[in-house]
Structure 1
Amino acid sequence: MNAPQRRVDRPVLPSSRPQVERLMGLLEGRPRALLLVHDNPDPDAIAAALCLSVLVEARLDVKPRIAYGGVIGRAENRNMVRALDIPLWSVDNIKFRSDDAVILVDTQPGFANNSLPADQPVLAVVDHHPGHVSAEVPLADVRPSYGAVTTIVVEYLVAARVPVAPELATAICYAIATETQDLGREASVPDIAAYLEVFPLCDQPLLGRLRHPRRDMAFFVELDRAIRAARVSDGVAVCHMGTVRTPDSAAEMADVLASIEGLEWVMCTGVYEDRLIVSVRTLDRDAAAGELLRGVVGERRRAGGHGMIAGGAVEVAPGEDPQQVHDDLARRFLAALGRDAGAELKPLTALAQPVGPEGIGSTGGGGGW
């Protein structure tokens, strides 16, 4: 006898009509609109800005520019921009004007992770990071409970009844999937609803290629370096990679290390230009990784994030040893987690269990963390 089918209700996408109408009113009559994402943008920031661009063009017949600082470092992010033909402008090629309608996407005024000029007025902020936006900003739509900022702007598109083309739907699905690890990390009900809203519209073969890209050999060289450099103690891994090829490298390797069985927290660092890039990952759904990392970097603060992911940067002074800076951060990181900051850190590779003829651990080796 077949078991009765359990009915699962599809989550409903909340309405953002008031925010859409407010934003359109603020943009009315403005000849130039600029969507500025955070430096070294990820798929979530890029897709959210692309959604806003489509919305503004559809409603006001104004074509905003999407601008970013830094570089687009990860191969997956470059593949996304190239495959979906997303027009992006480096801030190096943007001349800001006081009458520009600037909208910050996935970042906020005062955050150290964007290239907004200090004296540039901001018309609106759309973000999902915790923060306090000045009352001088006419519209601040900040929703820390959302796993992806793209979800907020999908609500805008639906409220405004703007059609979603297959390319845009693909960007949306890719962004939400990568930001929430396929809806498994910090995904809210609206994130799930937004994904289900547009998934039938996307180019699914292209989405598959974006989710599983081919990687250049440099990725595996850095991965090898990260694994060899990683040190562990009591479920925590810390790793200093030395000089890295992109500002995303530390985050990329932190994502990989966090998937290792037995690890609960990961902190990965790498030197890019004159900064030590710091990336933190955890499997603890109740963690406050962003707040924890801000405490770890202390006075050299340039950090933020969500519950399970965080990132930041520490300026490295001339003559200062980046390894020493990392070691100091690692001790503070362990202490902040309630671990023994003076505990011996063992090489990650030394903890691999032997593989016998019957599989991992068949020789009776203890292993473990």
Structure 2
Amino acid sequence: MSRMGEVAVGEAEELETVLEDTDSLAIVCHYQPDPDCLASAYALQWIAARNGVTNTDIFYQGHITHQEIRSFIGIFDISLQEIDDASLESYDIVAFVDHSISGTEVEIPPTVDADVVIDNVEPPGDPDASFVDTRPEYGSTAAILAEYVTNWDDDPPELVASALLFAIHRERLDDVRYPTRLDYRAALDLFPYADIDLIEEVYGSSLTPETLDAVGRAIHHRTMRGSVLVSSIGQTSDSGALPQAAEYLLRLEGIRTVLVMGVVNGDLWLSGRSFDPRIDIGMALNGAFSEFGTAGGHQDRAGGQLSLGIFADTDMDSPVINERLFQIVADRFFRTLALDED
């Protein structure tokens, strides 16, 4: 049993009250969900089943192509449905995990409201939900759910504990991505129930040859201003290569912020990562590119999918066209961060 405070215990009891007399629950992930979001949804699904909810489904939008995330879903046997194929109106309760407002990180029908919100980020507005648990002092939503699942007398399932522990490590602890004391405490509470071999199996997921080639292109095609790096992988059918390239480039000495661009199926995709506490990469991408499509995310990680605009009918295999597009994106991003060329 965890060392939860009175507030956390009260919230767990309140959530149980919300789930009482509920037959069906739709858990909605944010766009292109990461392990933090997926593990949190997985844990909430178990909590719902534990409280007698007979039908619980997890929904998502976007494309899941990142090899590690695909392995995570397969190893922990997480069942997902695309929101476009769902009738969310038919569920008694709709829950948002790792996000809080429709239209910012996920789009659901305007006739559907979230009844439950659990997130580690302060919402941009006031969620109209009957149960809201947002804790910005936590580095991951998985750490919040860890407190829920370790609060009851019965132990959490091994798969749920393992998924949450991996998510906390991947989100905050592995690269010291601004972890909090609460993240370390949650990881410690989960450890006795987790299967470390399963977690190591997710870490061991391999890169495809195409992803490896894309990372190589990103290494060679880059420009820097100060501690900020912008790179391009060119054309690819693997959108998951962008965040993997961004995470790799963030390891370069002196680099604190990375933006990787690439053309995927006729659209311009972006993936950003930042360790710089002065930069909110989600706000930066939103400010620089949202007028051309969707762009935004969290303080330390974000993404975007934009229209190619005037480049839509051009030959994207042309080095000249690719370089021109790269310069436009890089210059716009640098200007947003007030990094004008000397």
Superposition TM-score, scaled by structure 1 size: 0.81
Structure 2 counterpart SS, 1:97? helix
Q: Distance in 2 between matches of 1:186 and 1:162?
A: 32
| 2:120 counterpart residue number | 128
Does 2:325 align with 1:333?
no
Contact persistence 1:33–1:64 (CA under 8 A): yes
Q: How far apart, in 2, do the equivalents of 1:242 and 1:318 lie?
A: 17
Change (3 A) 1:40 1:340: same
**Does the 8 Å contact 1:36/1:67 carry over to 2?**
yes
Pairing of 1:47-196 with structure 2 (within 5 A): 47-97=39-89, 99-182=91-174, 184-196=176-188
Q: CA deviation at 1:133?
A: 4.0
Shift in Å, 1:204? 1.1
Map 1:267-278 onto structure 2 (within 5 A): 267-273=259-265, 275-278=267-270
Q: SS where residue 180 of structure 1 aligns?
A: helix
Answer yes or no: is the 8 Å Cα contact 2:155–2:193 preserved in 1.
Answer: no
Pair 334,92 (structure 1): closer, same or farther in 2 beyond 3 Å = closer
Picking from 294, 315, 318, the partner of 2:307 is: 315
| Contact kept? 2:161, 2:194, Cα under 8 Å | yes
Determine the structure 2 residue equivalent to 1:30: 22
- For 2:98, the aligned partner's letter is D
- Alpha-carbon displacement from aligned partner over 1:297-321 (angstroms, at most 9, x marks no partner): 2534633333333333333337547
Measure, in 2, the Cα distance between the counterparts of 1:269 and 1:49.
29
1:224 and 2:216 aligned:
yes
Contact 2:116 2:130 in 1 (8 A): yes
Going from structure 1 to structure 2, the CA distance change for 1:190 and 1:35 (only over 3 Å counts) comes to same
* Deviates further, 89-98 or 52-61: 89-98
Deviates further, 107-116 or 206-215: 107-116
Query: In structure 2, do the counterparts of structure 1 residues 180 and 166 end up closer, same or farther at CA, with 3 Å as the change threshold?
Result: same
Partner Cα separation in structure 2 for residue 22 and residue 325 of structure 1: 51
Shift of 1:230: 1.6
In the aligned structure 2, how far is the partner of 1:243 from the partner of 1:34?
36
- Mapped to 2, the partners of 1:102 and 1:162 lie a distance apart of 26
Aligned match of 1:350: none
Rounded Cα–Cα distance in structure 1 between residues aligned with 2:131 and 2:266:
35
Q: Distance between the aligned counterparts of 2:270 and 2:282, measured in 1?
A: 11
Counterpart residue identity of residue 161, structure 2 = A
Classify 1:41/1:191 alpha carbon distance in 2 versus 1 (closer, same or farther; 3 Å).
same
**Alignment identity in percent?**
26
1:17 and 1:160 in contact (8 A); partners too: no
After superposition, the Cα gap between the structure-2 partners of 1:163 and 1:319, relative to the gap in structure 1 and judged at 3 Å, is same
2:237–2:265 CA contact under 8 A, matched in 1 = no
The verdict on how the C-alpha distance between 1:326 and 1:113 changes in structure 2, with shifts beyond 3 A counting, is farther
Q: Is the 8 A contact 1:133 1:140 kept in 2?
A: no
Superposed CA deviations along residues 313-353 of structure 1, whole A, max 9, x for unmatched, are 33333754785555333213223334234x5xxxxxxxxxx
Letter of the structure 2 residue corresponding to residue 83 of structure 1? I
Give the residue type in structure 2 aligned to 1:34: A
Q: Which runs of 5+ in 2 are unaligned?
A: 317-321
CA–CA separation in structure 2 for the residues paired with 1:198 and 1:183 = 19
Deviations 1:160-214 (A, max 9, x none): 4442122222111111111115261021121111111111221112211212322
Letter paired with 2:50: A
After alignment, is 25-34 or 12-21 more displaced? 12-21
For 1:200-349, what aligned pairs fall within 5 Å after superposition? Answer: 200-273=192-265, 275-297=267-289, 299-300=291-292, 302-317=294-309, 319-320=311-312, 323=322, 324=324, 326-341=326-341
Q: Aligned AA for 1:277?
A: W
Using the alignment, how far apart are the partners of 1:242 and 1:183 within structure 2?
27
1:237/1:319 Cα in 2 relative to 1: closer, same or farther (>3 Å)?
Answer: closer
Secondary structure of the corresponding residue to residue 64 of structure 1: strand
Superposition deviation, residue 85 in structure 1: 1.6
Gaps of at least 5 residues in structure 1 are 1-10, 344-369
d(CA) in 1 for partners of 2:247 and 2:175?
15
- State the one-letter code of the partner of 1:90: E
Amino acid at match of 2:340: D
CA distance, structure 1, for counterparts of residue 277 and residue 32 of structure 2: 26
CA contact (8 A) 1:68 1:89 kept: yes
Residue type at the aligned position of 2:333 = F
8 Å contact kept, 2:140–2:171: yes
Q: Does the 8 Å CA contact 1:40/1:247 hold for their aligned counterparts?
A: no
CA distance in structure 2 between the partners assigned to 1:135 and 1:42 by the alignment: 22
Does the residue aligned with 2:151 lie in a helix, a strand or coil?
helix
Separation (CA, whole Å) in 2 of partners of 1:110 and 1:93: 17
**Compared with structure 1, are the counterparts of its residues 45 and 254 closer, same or farther at alpha carbon in structure 2 (3 Å cutoff)?**
same
**286 and 319 in structure 1: CA distance in 2 versus 1, 3 angstrom threshold:** closer
Q: Is the contact made by 2:117 and 2:131 (CA closer than 8 Å) also made in structure 1?
A: yes
